[in-house]
């Protein structure tokens, strides 16, 4: 296995907080990039204080900030300008998800930086993007889930529901990550950096393409169906004996026939006129559910899964978080490792995608300002200068 990493030699300077930008930059660090995380002196990224669930550290912060260097810096101070002037020539990528307009006020916009650093890639992550009526509108994950239409199709018929994780932030972080990778590839061809204008709203609307097209040209949008599928049946959770739940999904008529014969043991049901195709099964799902329930609720979870496997029907257990920590497949594939942190070693999932040419970087989660002095020393500030900046609250 080679020891060289894909982004080795790439330096990322990230003015980041919360989830979208930190998740993006952490993935760049996973691939070997040096990521310098700029944080507010004394407070840091406000996600550090979201909760204390991981031995006193915040769950979101632990997830999105390994393998980074923490530089505390008051960006509004005069000294910050000199620090950035010394640092920026070493930087390949600048990421920011500050409040709308803040980067421009601080002289960190693409227009401000491009002339002096033409190879620099600048990625701006915001709720609604640059321009348009919503440019300056505040945006948080829940609000973008709402604006993008996600919440309108998620939940039960009676109640809307948001996703149980920061799905809009994750979508934006993933698209920022892939856009930066493509900009690095483009720079190899042109020698010039790029400006990436990344919107949380557009990231989520891209993920909403199925319900959007389902409601094309004024058609009715998909109804909220809880954990079931809005358009395919049977597809979703079914209760079995002992109040346990099995998730299953049928995709075609061959599977429907097998499901009737081997799981329900009601072969005649596969040719019943009310259930001959998915559209009819969806239309008559209440009647069909009663038939399926009458069989499944008399059998244990293990018996049902065995029947589903024998029939070639996709299925899954409904795990809680404790079940995922102990998931046998993740353990069998050795997908857990540990990372260091200010509170000691913590478990961490290896990034998805096993590459046989390199190992992902799984570095420590930084304490607030942990690397400030060393970064400034490397920029040829002496100890007296650094001490004065610390006393003034610059760092």
Both 248 and 367 in a single domain? no
Do 184 and 245 lie in one domain? The reply is no
254-264 pLDDT tens trace: 999 999 999 99
Same domain, 256 and 312: yes
Q: Are residues 299 and 365 in the same domain?
A: no
Query: In this predicted model, what pLDDT tens digit does every residue of 10-58 receive, in sequence order?
Result: 999 999 999 999 999 999 999 999 999 999 999 999 999 999 999 999 9
DSSP helix/strand/coil, 221: coil
Task: Give a yes or no: residue 226 inside a domain.
Answer: no
Residue where one domain finishes, among candidates 272, 298, 318: 318
| pLDDT range class, residue 370, cuts 50, 70, 90 | very high
- 19 and 164 share a domain? yes
Write the CB contacts of 124 (distance below 8 Å, at least 6 apart in sequence). 96, 97, 103, 109, 110, 130, 195, 196, 197, 198
pLDDT band at residue 3, thresholds of 50, 70 and 90? Answer: confident
Is the domain of 104 the same as that of 184?
A: yes
My answer on whether 84 and 33 are in the same domain is yes
Per-residue pLDDT reduced to its tens digit, 186-200? 999 999 999 999 999
- The DSSP line for 66-105 is TTEEEEE--TTSHHHHHHHHHHGGG-SEEEE--STTHHHH
Q: How many Å apart are CA 133 and CA 330, to the nearest integer? A: 45
Residue 216 belongs to a domain: no
Q: Count the Cβ atoms, other than its own, within 10 Å of residue 325.
A: 13
Question: By the 8 A CB rule, do 100 and 69 touch?
Answer: no
* Domain end marker among 283, 318, 353: 318
Q: Examine the fold and report which residue of 261, 283, 318 is the final residue of a domain before the chain moves on.
A: 318
Q: Report whether pLDDT(2) > 70.
A: no
Is 175 inside a domain boundary?
Answer: yes
- What's 297's domain CATH number? 3.30.1540.10
List pLDDT tens digits, range 324-369: 999 999 999 999 999 999 999 999 999 999 999 999 999 999 999 9
My answer on whether 334 and 314 are in the same domain is no
Q: Measured between alpha carbons, how far is 106 from 94 in angstroms, rounded to an integer? A: 13
Q: What is the pLDDT of residues 67-101, one digit of tens each?
A: 999 999 999 999 999 999 999 999 999 999 998 88
Q: Are residues 35 and 63 in the same domain?
A: yes
Same domain assignment for residues 136 and 173:
yes
Closest CA to 86 of 387, 385, 302: 385
Prediction pTM value? 0.92
What is residue 229's predicted lDDT score, i.e. its pLDDT? 85
Domains held by the chain: number:
2
Find out whether 149 and 212 touch, Cβ atoms under 8 Å.
Answer: yes
Instruction: Give the tens place of pLDDT for each residue, 135-174.
Output: 999 999 999 999 999 999 999 999 999 999 999 999 999 9
Q: Specify the pLDDT at position 1.
A: 59
Kindly report the CATH number assigned to the domain that includes residue 24: 3.40.50.10540
User: Both 121 and 193 in a single domain?
Assistant: yes
Task: List residues bridging with 164 in a β-sheet.
Answer: none
Residue 161's nearest CA partner among 212, 62, 227 is: 227
Report, as an integer, the average pLDDT of 112-117: 95
Classify residue 2: in a domain, yes or no.
no
| Vertex 258 angle, CA 256 and 261, to 5° | 110
Express each pLDDT in 383-393 by its tens digit.
999 999 999 99
Q: Are 181 and 196 in contact (CB under 8 A)?
A: no
Find the domain containing 69 and state its range: 11-208+330-392
């Amino acid at each position: 296995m080679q020891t060289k990493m894909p982004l080795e030699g790439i330096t990322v300077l990230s003015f980041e907080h919360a989830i979208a930008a930190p998740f993006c930059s952490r993935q760049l660090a996973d691939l070997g990039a040096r990521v310098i995380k700029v944080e507010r002196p004394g407070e840091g990224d406000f996600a550090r204080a979201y909760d204390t669930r991981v031995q006193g550290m915040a769950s979101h912060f632990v997830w999105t900030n390994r393998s980074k260097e923490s530089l505390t810096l008051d960006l509004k101070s005069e000294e910050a300008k000199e620090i950035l002037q010394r640092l920026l020539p070493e930087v390949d990528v600048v990421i920011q998800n500050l409040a709308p307009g803040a980067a421009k006020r601080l002289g960190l916009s693409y227009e401000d930086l491009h002339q002096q650093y033409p190879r620099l890639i600048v990625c701006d992550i915001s709720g609604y993007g640059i321009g348009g009526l919503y440019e300056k509108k505040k945006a948080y994950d829940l609000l973008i889930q709402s604006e993008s239409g996600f919440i309108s199709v998620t939940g039960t018929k009676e109640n809307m529901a948001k996703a149980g994780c920061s799905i809009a932030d994750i979508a934006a972080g993933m698209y920022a990550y892939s856009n930066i990778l493509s900009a690095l590839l483009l720079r190899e061809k042109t020698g010039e950096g790029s400006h990436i204008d990344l919107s949380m709203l557009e990231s989520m609307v891209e993920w909403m393409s199925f319900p959007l097209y389902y409601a094309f040209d004024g058609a009715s949008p998909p109804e909220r169906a809880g954990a079931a599928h809005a358009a395919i049946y049977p597809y979703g959770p079914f209760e079995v004996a002992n109040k346990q739940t099995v998730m299953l999904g049928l995709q075609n008529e061959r599977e429907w026939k097998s499901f009737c014969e081997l799981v329900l043991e009601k072969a005649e049901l596969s040719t019943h006129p009310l259930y001959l195709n998915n559209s009819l099964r969806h239309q008559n799902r209440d009647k069909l559910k009663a038939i399926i329930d009458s069989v499944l609720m008399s059998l244990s979870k293990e018996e049902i899964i065995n029947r589903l496997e024998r029939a070639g029907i996709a299925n899954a257990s409904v795990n809680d978080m404790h079940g995922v920590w102990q998931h046998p497949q993740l353990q069998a594939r050795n997908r857990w490792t540990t990372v260091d942190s200010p509170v000691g070693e913590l478990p961490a999932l290896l990034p998805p995608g096993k590459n046989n040419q390199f190992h992902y970087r799984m570095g420590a989660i930084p304490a607030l300002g942990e690397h400030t002095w060393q970064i400034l020393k490397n920029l040829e500030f002496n100890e007296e200068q650094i001490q004065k900046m610390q006393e003034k609250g610059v760092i």
